[in-house]
């Protein structure tokens, strides 16, 4: 089975071009918002707090803040990318084009993940102006960054297909994903929680993302890095299954 590389490239270039037209919203805004977190929590509050697992507080929250932006941007980019053709009615041109569901997903999700990784990398670079830190495992950091961006871009793609209004596009990221990120150890170690909350928090999937990403920075984590990687891969497979089912049944695409 041949892959329509030109079709994938066309979708990818179109989505990346949209980033250039909305540069302030797509790239600059999330970086500036994260800078405010670094100023308040890293510099102002972090200087008055002790170390967590041997890591200064200002440096400790960097992986969590990167993940917070990465998850939000991945979902937002992918969901908006597929929702706009539905809203404008151009989705039927995509469905009738000689492009398979796999190729369409690669184009949309690839562009969304690329934009999210760019934001994540810019935040990591910007963080060095506020807090000194070192990457103990840069290859693992890149792996978690890419895997998380692709996984949640797929999740955002599913949300974009499911949503039937602009309000619904914001429902899951702001009411579910953002609270889960704040409660997933972005600003603290889950080992600091009293029983039974230290066990309850393990049902939060974001815990494994932040924990694994933090391990790649400082070699410390709340759960095993193998478990973190496995849970991320499991969620990736679930999202792939959901996307396959959407195109297999035509859910909210051919109606």
In a domain, 238, yes or no: yes
In a domain, 35, yes or no: yes
pLDDT of the residue at 254: 66
pLDDT in tens, 129-153: 888 888 899 999 999 999 999 999 9
In a domain, 242, yes or no: yes
Angle at 122 between CA 201 and CA 54, to 5 degrees: 45
Record the pTM.
0.89
User: Do 62 and 71 form a contact (C-beta atoms < 8 A)?
Assistant: no
In a domain, 217, yes or no: yes
Q: Which residues of the chain have pLDDT under 50?
A: none
pLDDT of the residue at 212: 93
In a domain, 161, yes or no: yes
Structural domains of the chain, count: 1
- Domain housing 135: 5-249
Q: Which of 181, 186, 178, 180 minimizes the C-alpha distance to 60? A: 186
Tokens 């690839």 belong to which residue? 110
pLDDT of the residue at 42: 66
pLDDT of the residue at 241: 93
Q: Residue 55: phi, psi to the nearest 5? A: -115, 130
pLDDT of the residue at 100: 82
pLDDT in tens, 193-203: 888 888 888 89
In a domain, 255, yes or no: no
In a domain, 254, yes or no: no
Report d(CA 102, CA 7) in Å as an integer. 11
pLDDT of the residue at 190: 86
pLDDT of the residue at 242: 93
């Amino acid at each position: 089975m041949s892959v329509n590389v030109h079709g994938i490239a066309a979708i990818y270039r179109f989505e990346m071009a949209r980033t250039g037209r909305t540069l302030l919203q797509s790239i600059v805004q999330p970086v500036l918002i994260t800078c405010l977190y670094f100023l308040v929590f890293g510099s102002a509050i972090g200087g008055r707090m002790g170390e967590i697992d041997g890591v200064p507080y200002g440096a400790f929250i960097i992986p969590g803040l990167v993940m917070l932006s990465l998850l939000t941007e991945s979902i937002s980019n992918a969901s908006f990318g597929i929702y706009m053709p539905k809203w404008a009615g151009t989705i039927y041109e995509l469905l009738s084009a000689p492009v398979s569901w796999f190729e369409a997903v690669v184009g949309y999700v690839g562009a969304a993940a690329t934009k999210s990784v760019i934001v994540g990398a810019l935040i990591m670079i910007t963080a060095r102006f506020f807090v000194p830190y070192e990457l103990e495992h840069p290859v693992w950091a890149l792996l978690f960054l890419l895997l998380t961006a692709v996984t949640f871009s797929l999740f955002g793609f599913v949300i974009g297909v499911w949503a039937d209004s602009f309000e619904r596009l914001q429902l899951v990221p702001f009411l579910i994903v953002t609270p889960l990120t704040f409660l997933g150890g972005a600003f603290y170690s889950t080992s600091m929680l009293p029983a039974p909350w230290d066990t309850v928090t393990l049902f939060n999937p974001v815990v494994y993302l932040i924990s694994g990403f933090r391990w790649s920075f400082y070699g410390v984590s709340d759960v095993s890095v193998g478990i973190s990687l496995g849970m991320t891969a499991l969620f990736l497979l679930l999202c792939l299954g959901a996307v396959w089912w959407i195109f297999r049944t035509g859910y909210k695409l051919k109606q």
